[in-house]
Each structure stands twice: as C-alpha cells, then as structure tokens.
Structure 1
Amino acid sequence: MKVIKWMLTLGILLPTYAFSQSGIERIKIDGFIGERINTCIEKRVKAQNVPELIHPFRHMTEGGWWQSEFFGKWMLGATASYRYTADPELLQIIKDAASDFMETQQLDGYIGNYKQEDRLTNWDIWGRKYSSLALLEYYRLTKDGKALKAVERLIDHLIKELEERNVNIAASGFYYGMASCSILEPVVYLYKETNKPRYLDFAKMIVGGIEQAGSSQLITKALQDIPVSHRSPFPNQWWSFENGQKAYEMMSCYEGLVELGKVLNEPLYLEAVQKTVDNILQEEINIAGSGAAFECWYEGKKKQTIPTYHTMETCVTFTWMQLCARLWRETANPMYMDEFERTMYNALMASMKRDGSQISKYSPLEGRRQPGEEQCGMHINCCNANGPRGFALIPDIAYQIKD
C-alpha cells in the first residue's frame, strides 16, 4: 500500500488510482486553514441544536419547504469532522442524533416531513436523499446495521410509492427533476453496500428518467457540449421545475452519475461529468473559485466584474469542491486539485464568520457577505447546514491512500 499525500499548495500528476480515506485521523492541519476547520467543528457542528433538526420528521406537516435536508447535511458534516478529530464527545453527539433520527421512521419506511397527500412533490425526495446519505455515512462510521436497514426501508418505500402513484421521478420536484434525481447517489451507495439488484435497477431507472425528453438530459446535453447556462429556456418562474440551470442540484446529479458509471463500467457517464465540469470551469467559475447567481449558472466568469445579486452561494461552493475532489479521485488529474485549492482558500474561507457562528449564504466578490436567512421556520439555513462539509472535506482530501 503506497501512501500519497496531497499538500495544500501542490498538485502532482499521478496515474489513475483507487483512493480511500484511511489514515485521515493520523494528520492534523495547522495554520490558518487548520484553525478555520477547528473553529467550524466547535462552533457550527458541535454547537448545533440537533433536536430542532429532527423535530419536523416527527410531525410530518409540510407540503412545500425543505426542512428535511438540514439534518442530513449536518450529519454528513459531523461524521466527516469526527473522522478527522476522533473527538469522543462529537462521536456521542452523532450516535445520539442517529438514534433519535431513526426513531422517526414510519412503519412503511418513510423518513421525511411531508404530509401524506404531498409526498413526492416539491422537496420531498430531495430530503429523502439527504436522510439516506446521512444514515449510510453513519453506517460506514459505526457499522450499526440498524442504519443500513433504515436506508433500505426508506428506498424500498420510495420505489413502491413511485410505482403505486405512477410518478416519474424525473418529472417531480424542481429544476427539470434534478433535485429529486439527485437521490441517485445514495441509491448507488446502497447497492454497493447490499449488492441487491433492485437498487441497481432503481438507479438505472433514475438515469433513464433523466435522459427522457423534457427532463434534464444531463448525459446527452453534456456530450453535445451544451453549456450549463443554456441547458433550458429562461423560466417563467425562477424557483420552479422549468429552471434547468440550477447549479447545486445539477452537480449533485453528476456526483451520482460518477458513482453509477463505476458500478456499470460505463465510461460515458464519467465523460459527461468531465465535459460539464470543463464547461463550468471555462464559463462559470470566477477568480475566487465559485460561481452562480441566484444559485444558477449564468456565464458568470465573463460577468464577474458586473455587480450581481446573490452570487457564490456556499452550497454551490462546497458542491463544486466535492465534485472536483471526486473527479480527482477518478482521474488523478491535478487540475481538479488546483480548482479545489483555489475554491478552498478563497470562496470557502471567505464564507465563515470569524467566530464560526455563521456561514454566509452568499459571498460576493464585492460588497459584503450575506448571512443566510432562517429558512422554513427554523433557526438554520441550507448553507449553515452544508458549509461545514466543505471544511471537513479538506483533511479528507489532504490525505489519500493508494490501494
């Protein structure tokens, strides 16, 4: 086994390797970056009011909003932080949270906050995606079989519900179905953990829906070199199904396509992701390593000197870093680490308040950072929930092992 270390100021061209995260607990990052990581863990991750995040899952009264993403995002940031710190206090927080969260699972397998008649609409499946990812990561961390079983029941219920209600997942939710279809990633992970064919079949079905006319067609449009800012006509309503430029959800789907491509040994999936990332880099990512306005691609690189509202959402910043890291693991191309590093030092570091109490929703190139509003009637927002994952990703990437 050969150890490969990526120093934060150096990218080295390597052959294509299979990487794992083993060994992360053996390193500590010092200096400004290390201080920022530690502050985020103490002030954002460990200080979070977790029962508040679980509360909506107990009552299931929602029909439109996205409260169900917050717990999963927090849990993913917490487990990644624990892998780095090995902090026993944080581990206990995680275990208590997972136990309380799994108690909200319904007899039919549903985990979510939507009332019965509104399920499969709006952000419901998106929330189930984050619940699945969180419990799968908890299972990987602790090997608690209850967590894996909970994800199986959750996905089995979703498959059954889609069939019984005759709902095309790629025609549900927002942004040409990209929000709903991003559940592809945990479905692939579940298949890899269980080797049960129904999950692979479901993953293939999701991709089939993505590629249908009238859906996002993420593979076809990428291979046709259609820029991400021109993937659909300008929508009549911005926050709607008819907006195909939504950056965060688009990249989330491509993360699932990378994972499914590995399972199926289908190189076209990776090619589609790489072509999309190349276009994002060439036309969207600004000097600080992030992009998007009103959370959508808009040919932002050439417009970065023009005052623009709501730029550089932290969820976009983190997901861009994660996608670059994923492609580096697949290709060992140092360009992806160069971009990861640029985003980390600039956009990500600029997003967190000095005392760690807030992660801004937007961090524009001029003006001032914007603290996120409290969303969905809760004392949190998407970027405060998601931002810690970006800080925890740094040590995860800083140490890799070639199997």
Structure 2
Amino acid sequence: MGFWLTWILIPIIVEIVPAFISAFILMFKNRHPVAEPVPMKLPFITVIVPVYNSEDTLYNCVKSIKESTYPSNLIQVILADNQSTDNSFGEFARAQTDFGLNMQLIKTKKGKANALNASIYQSIGTYIINIDSDGTLEEHALMNVVLKFENNLDISALTGTILPRKDMVKRTKKFPLRLLRKNEYFEYAQAFLSGRVIESYNDQLFTMSGAFSAFRKSTIMKTFMYDTKTLGEDTEMTFQIRDRLKKKVLICTDAIFYIEPISGLDELYRQRQRWQRGELEVAKSYMKNDASLKNFFTNFLVRRMLIDHTFIFPKMIWLFASFVLLFLRYSPVILGMSYVIIYLLYVMVSMLNYACVRMLLKRFENEERFYAKLSWVALTLPMYNFICSWFRLIGSLNVSGNEQWNSLSFKDESNNAVKVVKGDVRNLERNRN
C-alpha cells in the first residue's frame, strides 16, 4: 500500500497542488484589471513576418496588420522569404497593391531563425514584433503590445496569447478531429492565460511564442540574435534576454494571435516532439552549472525540467506498474480508485484554470463566449494531456547528438512499433518450439 501511495503522491505534490495555488493567485491578481493609457504620441514599429511556402495564408496575415487599430502609417512590415517554392511572392504583390502598407520583401537563407535575424537588421521601428505568416492578429493586438511597452519601461520583451481559430474549430465536421481541436483550443487558452501568466508574475516565463513575440529594438540588438542551430530559437532568445541581459520577459494577455488548429494526430505528434527537442537543447545550454536536484526550489529552470521532462518517466512507469501489480494480485479496486482520484483532481485543476481564463477573456466577448461553451472539455483534457506526455517522452527518446531529429509520422512510428512487437512474438513462439 505504501509503495502505491508513493507513486500517487508524485503527480499530487509536483503538479496538482502547485496548480491549485497558482489558480488562486491568478484569480486574486486579476480581480480588477487596469487599462493601459494611450500616450500622446505613438511610436513607429516594425512587424516581421517570416515566409516559407505561405501562399495560402500570407494575404490574410497581412490583411490583419492593415485592419489593426494601430495606425498603418506607423508600421513597417518586413516579409522575410526564406526560400519559398510556391507563389508566396504573388500573394505579397497582391497584398501590397490592396493594402498600401509600408511593406518590403527580403530574401534570406532557409530557416526561420535566419529570416528573423536578417529582418531585425532591416528594421527601423522602436519595437520589433514577430508574427507567423500562417496566422492573423486580433485587431487590438498590436496596440495592446505597444501600450504595454510604453507604460512599463522595465519590460524588454513580450509574448502574445496564441489561440486556434474558433471558426475553423466550429466548422470541423469529423467528430474525432473536432474533439482534438477543442482540446487543443482549451489547452492553448489555459497554457497562455493561466500558465504563462503565473510564470510572468515571477519573471520566469520559459519561452516566448514563436508565433507572436515583441521586443524593444534596443534590447534585441544587444543579444546574439536568434540561434540558427536549435529547434528552440524562441526559447533560447527568451533566456538570452532574461538570463544574460537580466531583462524582463512577460506575457501580454490582451494581445491575441490566431493560428490554424491542428490538422490531426500526426501534426500533434511531430509538433510536441519538436517542442520537446527544442526545450531540451536550450536547457542543456543554460543548465550546465545548475543541473542539480538541490536547486529545485531556487532555480525555476531545474524545477521546470524535472516537472515537465524528468517526471514523464515515472508517470509512464506508474502506468505499466498498474498491470504488473494486478498480476501480483494487488486489489484492482484500490488501483481503480487511485486512477479515479487522480483524474478528478486533474479535472478540478482544469476547471479552476477555466475560471481564470474566462476572467482574462472578458474583454473579448466572442472569444469568451466560445470558450464558455467548452467547459465540458475539462473532462477530456487529462486524457489529451496524457497523450501529449507520451509524445513528449518519445521526443526525449528520439533526441540524438546530431542536429537531425525524428520526423516520422505517428502512423509510421505506430506501424514500426507493431512490426517490432510481432517480430518479438514470433521469436518467442520459435523459442518455445
């Protein structure tokens, strides 16, 4: 009994208790939101859009810049084409004709980091804002980012709030994909408007979103620019600014950037492996002298790595141990009750975060209304997160010493796993005979 209780305590102590505390802190601090005042004179800004085979989305992305409440005459737009092979240039030309923005297209080396670095040197704005070409800005997003900077001189970099497009989620016809997309939306909302807000309160934001981030130009010019040798260039830049330059990196909750929802399980599988690889690469660089268990309470990066990565392994051991204990005649009732208790605790955490997110979405009536109807997703989110944990575990196992990373689809890897299991079974049968 004591052995099993020890395993149950791991998620309770490491994840659930801190989540409850964080949720209550977030609720308390957001009781009375304060609007940022508009200065007498707004600054000139640069919006950078890395482009790679974006002909299907680029026009709408630029359109969202034009339709922003920020004055168009105060925006420099740089489209950084890193060797597209489609008609992205044609969409750039169409957007330039239709919108009349101060916009230029530059050619760069392949890779997002190279595109961003080349664009930064071309920028002339007081603030530099990066957005992905496959998403769109909420109309107040640029204004809210600039106001955050103008009224908080100690902030050097910001990440926006990323949400999947609710219209695309609603239009999804196939039930399995619609369920996946609603869980993704729920996850993103809680990750940005709960998780990253708490990280910001402690100046411990782990990563700025690559889809939407902003900087004071005076700050980013003091960095080593984006690292072109890692999959986690956004995380690496976050650590450069906060740890090397000792500057603040926070989240702007009322600056929303909309992305296309996940296309299916294959994309989710590859995405989470890519994120895992990027996080581990950056952590390796910044934990060389602090990677010790004794720093768990004093170093948030050590704590983050242990909770998000190291504890993945005992979670999986816990799952397989359940089947082993059944063979050892352990009570299936107690095992089942332990799983139910853990599940209900995770649901309670999701509901607390749900309440926090609704508080922060009050300024966005349509978004808040859509999110309000997703309360039931709190019941499925623990399973969604469990699946993502498996994908991240596989990402950890696939990390190698070179710059290549596993890019097989979920279907391909599943088929390979089935082949291995069938081969093992055949070998066992031959040995018996």
- TM-score normalized with structure 2 length: 0.28
Which structure has more RCO (C-alpha within 8 Å, separation ≥ 6)? 1
Q: Which has the larger radius of gyration?
A: 2
- TM-score normalized with structure 1 length: 0.29
Which structure shows the bigger proportion of residues in strand conformation? 2
